[in-house]
A and B are shown apart, each in its own frame.
Chain A
């Protein structure tokens, strides 16, 4: 029943959507506003119908309707509710339904509140968006129906792929989809502008749409990178995977479009550029969908092979041919003011930036499709790995950052060189400071130093531009600095958003250089209690714990981490074994200088294998990305100047904007908390266990047979400090061994001290009598001493040398052989 209702819903949506497009088309042909109204009502109706379809699918997930194949494949009874929600778009069918819904929703938003500039473009834009939405709805209905039913409903579903069981999966795909569908809007507006001969108006009308799409696409990519870092456990965040690239390419062209649009709005330049960029952005979105779904390109994100790809290929061809035919047909509109002011002008810098964005896009495209391209050209297949991409794109990024550093300094006039001389110094200072501090911090090597210097130059310029601007205003208007800053930001949101984006980019570049050039990766094999030295870090393997969760077994290693031999934190990388697949969950200790990233690669009863990654400056990467996105958010917010409205309307808008701001902010904070919040397998205790060679922590204990003992009393003698408890089974095993060694060594000036982690004296006495313990015994009241020694479990044993330094540490039971060997080595000195 549910299945039929769902399928009929999608079919209905397709019919209404097609009708809406046709009605709007007829309204243009016959200049009849009634058809237009009817068509727009159709868009509203389609949105409502598809929204209902999504809710229906959600309902099927929440009520475990496994007779629906999609639900059976992506959910199970045990799945937590938030993952059932995200399972909605975990597979191809559901994500296409979501896509269709968002696409038509954006058409609705476009017609719901058009600005004066948008209005004349609306009919044609609606026709185009309606057709795009109809394509997606049609594909969903005929090729990838999420409501398809199974002949025999299984009792339980197959569950969600364990790698997708991550809070990031709630935000990453929808955010990308918002970006993808968003880019269809500027495309539709541009085509409408071309048809109606208003080529200068579309960039302004489309500006916020482009920005919003750019922002969501960027957020999606960024969350995806973080998800990879968090979940995939290869120490990286960007693998130049074809599908990652598919998201990156439209983001590049959209970024270029945002820049080209500035010039078009200011000087009516770059008209053809902008049209080509908007077409490319939309086509690359479709290409991205094609690569994910065609099965032609092997990738992390591939949805498996299906015939879907060919339909997308046909649609891409149609869009390309159609849109370029339009550009050609209306090319006379495009001739305009294209006087440019030469290389060293702001416009020149913009042009170079556009060229670079396009060459970057082409490079990534060539890299992603290299096997196919080389196969066609030479019948040999070459594959581009990360090294290929780094080497090809690296110099282009470098040049881009250089343009970024110089561009704001170049005016529109021919006085560029003089301006450069008078205002160029912050760039120089920034470059020297950043490259210098990087070199001092040990990040040497000329490629990275050049990169750091370029980033510093761009950063210096960005900061100086803001400072000059705000100080200028504060002098002119005699406002305090902060007020001037706030006023400037709210008056010129796009410009200040841009500065912020550029500043974020600078940090991002620093992070990318650090992580890609200076990262360290190594493997260590450790047995319990053993330590490994990796760079400045000492890792001590404490123990391995296993626990049965509802649908998987969790194996967690506890690793005490020390930096420069000082206790830092305790890392718990783990392996979750599901029925069909195991997932390694890395432990991460972020830091400003570097991240310590540890993966439990393998384990056995006697030892574990760890992969240890030291990722320098990774924090700059995440921080830079966040600032970049925040800059986009500042730019997309309506500027104070744009809103000049009646009081009542202004107030209503203010309320609406505030509500929107709160919702967006809440979502961003939720996404941020999910990705960067606590729980990355690192939790620091107050005190760490002393490492061998370090002074033993001081203590004073009341002995069971009266009197006290403190560390000072042990001076000049070898001491064995054994933490134990009467309830601990492995203590039972080692106590007889310790007693026998005590008997053997008591004549040689060795002190044995048993510290019981218990407060009931009678029980401890009972146990001591039972095992016949004759060495010194004390109760650790309030666990003060065990805390000071960083003890995490019983038994643990510390052997202290005559100088009062820890010589040996045993986490877990100690054997008689080990203890004898250690005592002999200390006594023999």
Chain B
């Protein structure tokens, strides 16, 4: 076998290995992105998987115990599709409507960390973690966005663990 053929095979092997890495990690370490509604339709099936769920924070639901530290709060369904959000009048309007809609699906979140500064009423929370068997969502990571006066989005990483 010529050098060129060997090289081609080596190159193809690398490409195949990377393709495998991407595919297998997408199955295992990637987070399944869901809205609260979708999560609740999944039911039991969702328990124990790596998930990312987004929703609007209800300010009154925030309970913080600084000695653990642990914060629990409830988030409400917002549409996952950015275009749908845009049609409904932008993120701020969608968040406001969600928080004031008592019939919208809700999810209780438990986050064993310091309470983020941006965790307040009508903030958009993107929580990463797992759904517990008790129906509560145990977050490893909470990203928050508030419609601020600054044009830039508030950095997500500031809230990463």
Contact = CB atoms under 8 A, between A and B. Distances in A.
A300 B153 contact: yes
B103 interface: no
B55 to A, nearest CB: 14
A384 B3 contact: no
Interface string A359-381: 10011001100110010000011
**Majority secondary structure of chain A interface residues (helix, strand, loop or mixed):** mixed
A342 B158 contact: no
A305 B7 contact: no
A296 interface: yes
A305 B69 CA distance: 35
A351 B11 contact: yes
B37 to A, nearest CB: 14
B66 interface: yes
Interface in B106-153: 113-115, 117, 126, 128, 141, 145, 148-153
Contacts of B82: 295-296, 305
A626 to B, nearest CB: 23
A285 to B, nearest CB: 21
A348 B152 contact: no
Contacts of B2: 342
Contacts of A351: 7, 11
A391 B29 contact: yes
Interface string A598-635: 00011010010101000000000000000000000000
Nearest to A374: B26
Contact of A228 (B18, B32, B141, B157): B157
A607 B68 CA distance: 13
A305 B87 CA distance: 13
A298 interface: yes
A382 B152 contact: no
A422 interface: no
Interface string B66-81: 1101000000000010
Contact of A232 (B34, B157, B161): B157
A607 B66 contact: yes
A374 B152 CA distance: 27
Contacts of B31: 382-385
B33 A581 contact: no
B10 A352 contact: yes
Interface residues of B, number: 50
A295 B159 CA distance: 20
B10 A580 contact: no
Contacts of B148: 580-581
Contact of B66 (A342, A371, A396, A609): A609
A716 interface: no
A340 B30 contact: no
Contacts of A341: 3
A604 B65 CA distance: 12
B160 A239 contact: yes
The listed residue with most B CB atoms (<10 A of its CB), out of A380, A392, A525, is: A392
**Majority secondary structure of chain B interface residues (helix, strand, loop or mixed):** mixed
Contacts of B128: 385
A363 B86 CA distance: 30
Contact of B11 (A352, A387, A611): A352
A582 interface: yes
B11 A163 contact: no
B6 to A, nearest CB: 5
Given A348-B7, A381-B32, A298 B14 contact: no
Nearest to B64: A602
Contacts of A298: 126, 145, 153, 156
Contacts of B153: 298-300, 302, 304
A241 B150 contact: no
A338 to B, nearest CB: 9
Contact of A581 (B4, B6, B34, B154): B154
A374 B22 CA distance: 12
Contact of A387 (B29, B33, B86, B157): B29
Given A396-B18, A523-B114, A580-B149, A239 B157 contact: yes
Contacts of B150: 73, 158, 161, 580-581
Contacts of B161: 234, 521
B32 A382 contact: yes
Contacts of A582: 117
B6 A370 contact: no
B9 to A, nearest CB: 9
Interface in A23-76: 73-74
A435 interface: no
A164 B126 CA distance: 23
B155 interface: yes
Interface in B18-40: 18, 21-22, 25-26, 29-34
Given A342-B3, A385-B128, A399-B14, A392 B22 contact: yes
Given A234-B158, A523-B69, A611-B114, A342 B18 contact: no
B29 A340 contact: no
A660 interface: no
B34 to A, nearest CB: 8
Nearest to B34: A381
The listed residue with most A CB atoms (<10 A of its CB), out of B2, B30, B34, B156, is: B30
B114 A602 contact: yes
Interface residues of A, number: 72
Given A299-B153, A300-B156, A580-B149, A370 B69 contact: no
Contacts of A303: 151-152
B93 interface: no
Given A351-B11, A363-B22, A385 B152 contact: no
A304 B154 CA distance: 10
Given A239-B160, A300-B157, A374-B26, A343 B69 contact: no
A607 B128 CA distance: 29
A523 B70 CA distance: 11
A299 B80 CA distance: 16
Contact of A388 (B30, B115, B145, B157): B30
Given A232-B157, A234-B157, A602-B66, A388 B152 contact: no
Contacts of A672: none
B32 to A, nearest CB: 6
Contact of A604 (B52, B66, B157): B66
B88 interface: no
Contacts of B104: none
Given A241-B157, A352-B10, A371 B33 contact: yes
B14 A356 contact: yes
A602 B151 contact: no
B63 interface: no
A345 B6 CA distance: 12
The listed residue with most A CB atoms (<10 A of its CB), out of B3, B34, B161, is: B3
The listed residue with most B CB atoms (<10 A of its CB), out of A92, A164, A363, A388, is: A388
Contact of A300 (B66, B80, B151, B155): B155
A197 interface: no
A604 B67 CA distance: 11
The listed residue with most A CB atoms (<10 A of its CB), out of B67, B69, B86, B156, is: B156
B26 A388 contact: yes
B127 to A, nearest CB: 12
A233 interface: yes
Contacts of A383: 30-33, 52
A421 to B, nearest CB: 19
12 contacts: A158-B150, A161-B152, A164-B152, A239-B156, A305-B86, A340-B4, A345-B3, A348-B10, A352-B14, A367-B22, A370-B30, A396-B21
Interface of B: 2-4, 6-7, 10-11, 14-15, 17-18, 21-22, 25-26, 29-34, 52, 66-67, 69, 80, 82, 86, 113-115, 117, 126, 128, 141, 145, 148-161
Given A381-B32, A388-B25, 10 more contacts: A236-B160, A298-B156, A305-B86, A342-B3, A343-B3, A382-B32, A384-B30, A392-B22, A521-B161, A583-B158
Query: Top 9 closest A-B pairs, CB basis?
Result: A342-B3, A381-B33, A601-B114, A300-B155, A382-B30, A359-B18, A234-B160, A383-B31, A387-B29
